[in-house]
Copies of this chain bind each other. A is one copy, B any other.
Amino acid sequence: MPTEKPEPRAASLVFQRTLEFRTSRQGLLDVTREVAAVVAESGVRQGICTTFLQHTSASLVIQENADPAVLRDLERWMSKLAPESDEYEHDDEGPDDMPGHLRSAVTRTNEVIPVTDGRLALGRWQALYLWEHRSAPHVRRLVVTILGAG
């Protein structure tokens, strides 16, 4: 059921910025604060914030930001679902590369988050995570594009 009575606004802005994150090992990195800063900078008050990761052995996921055990359980479960194995045909980039592609395939390359009153309209317990699937350090590029009304 509707919870408010909104009016259409003139959508007139687009803003784009590429963020770089340095990862040090496999794991989930909370990038919410950095993305929220781009939203603030954009001047968009109502619209959408799209985030796109330019890689195929790291991915995006929105998960709980409260209990760190959730992230540990998620990582353990995924490491069984798409395990390191010597059965992959693609193995010349190391044993952690092909599982990284599999883990990316079932999570996300992009997430689209609404912008309301100039801020990311995440739920109370939500955060945006960059999930590094490789064991060595990497620089990961996240393209943030915001569209909407100022």
Contact = CB atoms under 8 A, between A and B. Distances in A.
Nearest to A143: B114
A136 interface: no
Contact of A74 (B1, B7, B101): B101
A75 B124 CA distance: 27
Contacts of A54: 121-124, 126
Contacts of A19: 1-3
Contact of A20 (B1, B50, B81, B88): B1
B121 A56 contact: no
A70 interface: yes
B4 A17 contact: yes
Interface in A65-95: 67, 69-70, 72-74, 77-78, 81-82, 88-90, 92
A2 B17 contact: yes
Chain A interface bracket (under 10, 10 to 19, 20 to 34, 35 or more): 35 or more
Contacts of A114: 16, 50, 52, 143, 145
Contacts of A9: 13-15
A64 B121 contact: no
18 contacts: A2-B19, A3-B18, A8-B42, A9-B14, A10-B12, A11-B147, A16-B47, A46-B145, A54-B123, A55-B126, A57-B64, A70-B90, A70-B101, A72-B90, A73-B89, A74-B101, A112-B112, A147-B147
